[in-house]
Structure 1
Amino acid sequence: MMKSRPALIVLAAGTGSRFGAAGHKLTQRLGASSVLGTTLRHAIASHLPVIVVTTDALAEAACRHVASRDCVVVPAVGTPSPHALGMGYSIAAGVAARPDASGWLVLPGDMPMVQTATMLAVASALEHHPVAYAQHRGRRGHPVGFAAELYSELVLLSGDEGARRLVARYPAHGVEVDDAGVLIDVDTEADLEKLRVAHAARA
């Protein structure tokens, strides 16, 4: 029987409220693709199972890159819901979609510079650590990985706090990588312009 592998959960359900341009930040052009498309291309290249947690507004964009069964659609933040929506809820939904995985890596969709080798390095660290995260020059970044033993706690996450309490509660192992992309995300239009310059230089 093939050993199960960690699943890679790409978070694409945020509102991107600090991004001022028309359209969502994840759909903005980056090279020949988009911010989300580039993040997913690197994720898919890892050959780990990829799950995208997104909203109705972005589901079509996400499903251009992964099968519809691998898109988990959650209510947008601000939508009336019995659940406390936010990053924590999105992580829980992604984990619940792949309960048989040997762990889960969490990667925000607005981090398209994170390299495939980095994702695999963090996934490998979960064989020996309950929590692992990528770091560059000692600075903590993404993805953050959680071993299968934390399933019952991950699926109970809610609200916008994410998994910070779990990272604080369990021994967390930093995986040092030569990948500054683990620290680079897109919040504003200025961030996007800097990202485009860096992406073009890397290409």
Structure 2
Amino acid sequence: MLIVIPAAGASSRMRGRDKLLELVDYQPLLAQRIAVALETGADVLVTLPPDNPERRAIAEGIVDDRLDLVIVDDAAEGMAASIRAAAAFAQQQDADALMLVLADMPEIDVNDLRTMMRAFDSETVMRGMDTRERPGHPVLFPARLFPALAEVSGDQGARDVLADEKVVMIPLPDCHATTDLDTPEDWAAWRGPNSP
């Protein structure tokens, strides 16, 4: 199984800040997300934009044989560019599944990822949901969908692929599956009243 962390986005809604450099557990969010993914024992792929040396330095500073990095030259297109790159890499590695773990979702922990991995079935898409039964992430795609993922386009990610699939929802604790932080206001609310 390959876990992909798409980290090639522009953080455009952060108004000059980079959400993947925000500190979580005393480290940049990107480093924290990579560490959580590696803790599962799975192979991990991080997609990076061509023009963000800070993110690249963080990812390259994590030394682990199971970690690979891919520069996404067409990252400006949106999420689909990272998904295409991940699908191509997964096919090259002969992976049996691809788990999409968004980089801006700090509440997803190693237990959540292991829950998804235990639920894996070679034919079915699995998707995390929160305790209010709202669909979220991670999303686990079986290998049979790699060719379709390699053809996605735009900033809708894999929604078109999911539209044609029966998706099994996997319950995750609280709002782990749906808390994503895209704006300074999101970060301030998540950190609470004493946040800087």
TM tier, shorter chain?
Answer: 0.7 to 0.9
Range moving further from structure 2, 126-135 or 88-97: 126-135
The TM-score, its normalising length taken from structure 1, stands at 0.83
Taking the aligned partners of 1:105 and 1:197, their CA distance within structure 2 comes to: 30
Identify if the C-alpha distance between structure 1 residues 160 and 66 changes in structure 2 by more than 3 Å, giving closer, same or farther. farther
2:176 alignment partner, SS class? helix
Matched-pair identity in %: 27
User: In the alignment, residue 196 of structure 1 is paired with which amino acid?
Assistant: R
Q: Give 2:125's match in structure 1, choosing from 131, 135, 144.
A: 131
Equivalent residue in structure 2 for 1:120, among 114, 118, 121 = 114
Residue equivalent to 1:7? 2
Compute the RMSD of aligned alpha carbons.
2.2
Q: 1:41 aligns with which of 31, 35, 39?
A: 35
Q: How much has 1:196 moved relative to structure 2?
A: 3.1
Cα displacement (A) at 1:32 = 1.3
Q: Distance in 2 between matches of 1:24 and 1:50?
A: 22
**Structure-1 separation of matches of 2:42 and 2:128:** 17
Q: Which runs of 4+ in 1 moved over 6 A?
A: none
For 1:24, the equivalent position in structure 2 comes to: 18
Aligned residue in 2 for 1:155: 150
Cα distance in 2 between the residues matched to 1:187 and 1:66: 28
Match of 1:124, SS?
helix
Normalising by structure 2, what TM-score? 0.86
SS in structure 1 at match of 2:12:
coil
> In structure 1, what is the Cα distance between the partners aligned to 2:105 and 2:117?
17
**Local SS of the residue matching 2:108:** coil
Q: Residue 15 of structure 1 contacts residue 76 of structure 1 at CA under 8 Å; is this kept in 2? A: no
The alpha carbon displacement at 1:159 in A equals 2.0
Q: Is contact 1:130-1:171 (8 Å) kept?
A: yes
Find 1:96's aligned residue among 82, 88, 102.
Answer: 88
Query: 1:179 Cα shift?
Result: 4.3
Q: Distance in 1 between matches of 2:63 and 2:5?
A: 11
1:64 aligns with 2:58: no
**Cα displacement (A) at 1:92:** 1.2
Which piece of structure 1 moves more, 144-153 or 59-68?
59-68
**144-153 or 156-165, larger mean C-alpha shift:** 156-165
Match of 2:185 among 167, 170, 190: 190
List alignment gaps of at least 5 residues for structure 2.
none
How far apart are residue 62 of structure 1 and its match? 2.1
Secondary structure at the counterpart of residue 140 of structure 2: strand
* Structure 1 residue 12, shift from structure 2 partner: 0.5
Note if 1:50 corresponds to 2:44: yes
What are structure 1's unaligned runs of at least 5 residues?
Answer: 1-5, 79-84
CA distance in 1, matches of 2:98, 2:186: 27
CA distance in 1 between partners of 2:174 and 2:34 (Å): 17
Paired with 2:35 and 2:144, the residues of 1 have a C-alpha distance of: 28
Classify the secondary structure of the residue corresponding to 1:160: coil
Contact 2:11 2:17 in 1 (8 A): no
